Amino acid sequence: MAGQSVAIIGAGIAGLTAALAFAARGAAATVFERAPRIEELGAGLQLSPNATRLLARLGVLDEVKRKAVEPKSVVIRCARDLRPLAEVPLHMAERRWGAPYLVMRRSDLQGVLLEAARGNDGIAIRTGTEVSNLCLDRTGGSVRPNIANSSELAPAFDLAVAADGVWSATRQRMGGPKSRFTGDIAYRAILDAGKAGPFRDRLLPSDQVVTFASPGFHLVAYPLPDGAFNLVIIVRGQDMPRHWTNVAEAAQISGTARNIATELKRLITVTGIWHAWPIHEVKSAAPWCQAGRIVLIGDAAHAVAPHAAQGAAMAIEDAVLLANLTTRSGAPGRTLDLFEKLRRPRLIRVAMRGQFNHFAWQVGGPIALVRNLILKARSGEKLAADFDWLYGYDVEKAAA
């Protein structure tokens, strides 16, 4: 498909990465985004080496690193008394896994990708343009987006890539399922540098990702380049509207956290504005591709809960693998089947790791005591080795 055309639905991390990956291989990419302007939403994210190695190959890693922090370790602490339970070293990420481990604002990553896409002659970005449907031509040789509320006849494309997120309309038009609410709510906030001062070192080290574990509750904190900290709390809750403007009261959040250190409760209160986000998953055996011309990637295909910190990484892997496979093949139908065949086992394993993390962080009683003993007995080297399959994975080697 090198030299051919690709329509990409959605200008999030998955869609923009796909545009860059296709353009790098000689395909012309057009990104359709329904919002009138591309808003960089969300709080923070973690980028593990399986993702950063791909960003390096797309030529954007240096700029990403300028807006990120490279933590030296991931630490798990008991939320009740703050004692450390385990520490996974990350300072050796480039030596062990071939690329850095970074934490940053989601908006900064999206901004870097957007700037690179706008500067690429092989990419066109159309904002304020909602794709209402994707129509195959009679021979199945191309696909044409229908533009909502418009008489415009969009051009035909060789391939359509749906990167329209966890609530993907494209997935449902293909007969796929609606997303499923997991029963967990993510409360997200950015603690600014001024407010972070009293909590530094003990609760908020400037060079670590810290998870505070407690029965039915965990809080993840990590530093941002300007001295602020990204905070995420995961607790059980009710489903709610699906947008970033759900504001939660600190008292409401503190009430869900029992038996945690007073200092942690004070951190929750001092932080100020928290945004509530219902965690949805997409688990389905429904196909990700249709007629050899339409394919889902990222959360549109396989949204997973954030407990393995792999949502952005899986979207980046999807985008690069898809571009690699389709630009090397003249048979898109078989290519899309191969893409799905390669990605499903990987996503299942990542989802299982996330479920394990959620269980391990929120377990209580005797099982928590066993967890603590096991973690204490394992060295940092052994803990790091547990992630070799995840962080050392090179999606382009899978394509080869």
Tokens 């905070």 map to which residue? Answer: 231
Q: pLDDT band at 325, cuts 50/70/90?
A: very high
| Structure confidence at residue 262 (pLDDT) | 92
Q: pLDDT band at 48, cuts 50/70/90?
A: very high
**Residue 1 pLDDT exceeds 60:** no
CB proximity list for 119: less than 8 A, separation 6 or greater: none
| Radius of gyration of the chain measured on its C-alpha atoms | 21
Q: What is the pLDDT of residues 237-259, one digit of tens each?
A: 988 877 666 888 777 787 777 78
- Over residues 299-317, the mean pLDDT reads 96
The pTM for the full model equals 0.95
| Structure confidence at residue 154 (pLDDT) | 85
| Structure confidence at residue 241 (pLDDT) | 76
Domains and CATH numbers, the chain: 5-68+103-178+282-360+387-393 (3.50.50.60)
| Structure confidence at residue 76 (pLDDT) | 96
* Percent share of the chain, pLDDT over 70: 96
Q: What is the pLDDT of residues 149-158, one digit of tens each?
A: 888 778 999 9
- Over residues 20-26, the mean pLDDT reads 97
For 121, the enclosing helix (H) or strand (E) is none
How far apart, in whole angstroms, are the C-alpha atoms of residue 218 and residue 77?
Answer: 10
Helix axes 332-362, 311-326, angle to 10 degrees: 170
| Structure confidence at residue 329 (pLDDT) | 73
Backbone angles phi, psi at 181, to 5 degrees: -70, 130
**Residue 119 pLDDT exceeds 80:** yes
Q: What is the rounded average pLDDT for all residues in the chain? A: 92
* Residue 352 near residue 24, CB atoms below 8 Å: no
Backbone angles phi, psi at 357, to 5 degrees: -60, -45
Q: What is the pLDDT of residues 163-222, one digit of tens each?
A: 999 999 999 999 999 999 999 999 999 999 999 999 998 899 999 999 999 999 999 999
Identify the bridge partners of residue 344 per DSSP, sorted by sequence position.
Answer: none
- Over residues 316-333, the mean pLDDT reads 87
* Percent share of the chain, pLDDT over 90: 81
How far apart, in whole angstroms, are the C-alpha atoms of residue 82 and residue 27?
Answer: 52
| Structure confidence at residue 240 (pLDDT) | 84
Identify the bridge partners of residue 340 per DSSP, sorted by sequence position.
Answer: none
* Residue 114 near residue 38, CB atoms below 8 Å: yes
Q: pLDDT band at 285, cuts 50/70/90?
A: confident
Residue 58 structure tokens: 């797309």
How far apart, in whole angstroms, are the C-alpha atoms of residue 214 and residue 299?
Answer: 28
How far apart, in whole angstroms, are the C-alpha atoms of residue 72 and residue 206?
Answer: 9
8-state DSSP, 346: H
Quickly list DSSP for 173-188. HTTPPPPEEEEEEEEE
**Residue 140 pLDDT exceeds 80:** no
**Residue 296 pLDDT exceeds 60:** yes
Beta strands in the chain (DSSP E): 5-9, 28-32, 44-47, 68-69, 73-78, 84-89, 102-105, 123-126, 131-136, 143-147, 159-162, 180-191, 208-214, 217-223, 229-236, 247-248, 274-281, 289-290, 294-296
Count other Cβ atoms within 10 Å, centred on residue 287.
16
CB proximity list for 234: less than 8 A, separation 6 or greater: 184, 185, 186, 187, 217, 218, 219, 220, 279, 306, 307, 358, 362
CB proximity list for 282: less than 8 A, separation 6 or greater: 166, 171, 176, 177, 179, 180, 299, 300, 301, 302, 303
By CB atoms closer than 10 A (0-12, 13-18, 19+), residue 245 is exposed
CB proximity list for 262: less than 8 A, separation 6 or greater: none
Q: pLDDT band at 282, cuts 50/70/90?
A: very high
Q: What is the pLDDT of residues 59-97, one digit of tens each?
A: 999 999 999 999 999 999 999 999 999 999 999 999 999
Q: pLDDT band at 309, cuts 50/70/90?
A: very high
Determine the 3-state secondary structure of 376 from DSSP.
helix
